[in-house]
Amino acid sequence: MVSRPGPAALRELQTACRACHVCVDAGIIAEANPTFAGEWGAPFFLVGQAPGPAERETRRPFSGRAGKELDRWMLRAGFASAEEFRHLTYIAALMRCFPGRNKTGTGDLRPPPAAVKNCAHWLDAELELLEPQVIILVGQMAITRFLGPGPLEQRVGRSFGESPVMVPLPHPSGQSRWLNDPLNRKRLERALTLIKKLRAGWEENPQKKIHMGHAREHPLG
């Protein structure tokens, strides 16, 4: 899709993604509003599920209530501010456009498999170009895409892989009840501590590949 590595190639890819209307043409969604954000050189890469209604309006990832909670998590994870987190992190999603509301209007539709498949090449190309040091996986769908199926209890609070290191997180949506369990809140805290260590490792030497090494955490229970 892109002919050369570097900032120009990323801009070329982003321009193509913003112009995409494949899922509209296929009748999967009614409106194309590809949403993502990030710059060349970002050491962190976050993968979410899909934009929500707020993101459809702002075209800025995690700009609604879930995004505010995510920003608070990232402050706990060692970023100096929400602005710093978003400056150092490329934010993408499995589905680039808002999938729509469910029939009852109580929540968003789950991204259709066909849409996720259509969007997969954007994600693959971004990762190939950026070669991030850390991939933050937000929500069950993103975690499954990279790590395969498995319960959140066995994923959150651990890191996976080396170069890049992958750190799973639950979704920050207020509709999720997973964090009602005190053990799961501890798992989240462990995950944020892992990101904090990775953030510190990058700050010490931005040019060196960061990894967890002996600092790798293990799940509770």
Name residue 37's beta-bridge partners: 91
Query: Could you report the per-residue pLDDT of 110-154, keeping only the tens digit for each?
Result: 999 999 999 999 999 999 999 999 999 999 999 999 999 999 999
Query: Could you report the per-residue pLDDT of 7-51, keeping only the tens digit for each?
Result: 999 999 999 999 999 999 999 999 999 999 999 999 999 999 999
* pLDDT beyond 50 at 216: no
Looking at residue 72, its pLDDT comes to 98
Name residue 168's beta-bridge partners: 137
- How far CA 24 is from CA of 145, 151, 154, in Å, comes to 23, 33, 37
Q: How far is CA 43 from the centre of its chain?
A: 13
Q: Cα(169)–Cα(142) distance, rounded to whole angstroms?
A: 9
Provide CB contacts within 8 A for 67, sequence distance 6+: 54, 55, 61, 172
* pLDDT beyond 70 at 2: no
Q: Which two tokens stand for residue 64?
A: 């609604």
Query: Could you report the per-residue pLDDT of 46-105, keeping only the tens digit for each?
Result: 999 999 999 989 999 999 999 999 999 999 999 999 999 999 999 999 999 999 988 887
Largest CA distance in the chain: 50
Residue 106 — very low, low, confident or very high, per pLDDT cuts 50/70/90? confident
CATH fold group of domain 7-215: Uracil-DNA Glycosylase, subunit E (3.40.470)
Instruction: Delimit the domains of the chain by residue range.
Output: 7-215
Across the chain, mean pLDDT equals 92
Q: What is the DSSP letter of 170?
A: -
* pLDDT beyond 80 at 208: no
Confirm whether pTM is higher than 0.85.
Answer: yes
